[in-house]
Amino acid sequence: MRTVRFSDPSGLVRTGTWTDSGIESGDRSYDSEEVTLLPPSDPTKIVCQAGGYVDHREESGFDDLPDRPELFMKTPNCVVGHGDAIELPPGRDEVEFEAEFGIVIDEQCREVSEAEAMDVVRGFTCVNDVSNRDDQAEERNWVRGKAFDASLPMGPVLATPDEVPDDARLELRLNGEVKQETTRDMMIFSVPELVAEVTELITLEPGDVIASGTPFGPGPLSDGDVVEVEFEGVGTLENRVVAR
């Protein structure tokens, strides 16, 4: 099943089921073109993995594999939805896309084992971890580089785990040209491993997101670009880039 959060024509925020013929919510149907799609969850925090794929670690200059996932945080101000603008931070020259998929948490949890990890996963969505390399290169904790406004598009829908194959394809297109592509089974750490590692010390709340990391090929964004992240079983997240 694919679910979607949206604002209906009256402005009310609703949750519905995404179908080929439209959005079903309660006893009503909505045309997806006549509503405003919202991020598929409203997270209190986003825990991100750095270097989640071997090829991206290699292009970043790391020859060895980590013993555990390397993590950093994004904050709720980063989150925007399908169709929203990615705003380039002023005065920065190197802002890049990073195609990822997001693991959305279903319930408050802590110290979840790998064996029980999928029990706390609501589903998956598309994520673009937009990164400001100018500041990232100068910072120890990547706050300016990663947690600036509108730097985490998510969506368009939330797909339950049964909708997403173990080898689901992840692809990013910039102005229609493929820039990144991989499959889920190429990750260094699996979804259960990520959930277990994050919850060892961090309590996750319903709607929180673990961003799984990006594969080879992050690249620059410019004013007017259209960037699409497609994850098999979920769909395509599309955003336009604007200079602020």
Q: Tell me, what CATH number does 118's domain have?
A: 3.90.850.10
pLDDT digits (tens, 9 = 90+) for 139-158: 888 999 999 999 999 999 99
What 3-state DSSP class applies to 117? Answer: helix
Eight-class DSSP state of 69 = -
* 8 Å CB contact between 179 and 56: no
Assess whether 45 and 132 both reside in one domain.
yes
Residue 177's DSSP bridge partners are 174
- Structure confidence at residue 55 as a pLDDT band (50, 70, 90): confident
- pLDDT at residue 56 tops 90: no
When divided into structural domains, the chain yields a total of 2
CATH number of the domain at 16, please.
2.30.30.370
Comparing 45-59, 75-89, 139-153, which segment has the lowest mean pLDDT?
45-59
State how far the alpha carbon of 183 is from the alpha carbons of 67, 147, 172, in Å: 21, 26, 12
* 8 Å CB contact between 227 and 172: yes
Task: Please list, in sequence order, all residues whose beta carbon lies within 8 angstroms of the beta carbon of residue 28, skipping any fewer than 6 positions away.
Answer: none
- pLDDT at residue 208 tops 80: yes
- Structure confidence at residue 184 as a pLDDT band (50, 70, 90): very high
Closest of 16, 22, 13 to residue 2, by C-alpha: 16
Assess whether 44 and 88 both reside in one domain.
yes
As given in the structure block, the two tokens for residue 6 are 């949206």
pLDDT at 30: 95
Mean pLDDT of the chain: 95
- Structure confidence at residue 57 as a pLDDT band (50, 70, 90): confident
As given in the structure block, the two tokens for residue 216 are 């080879």
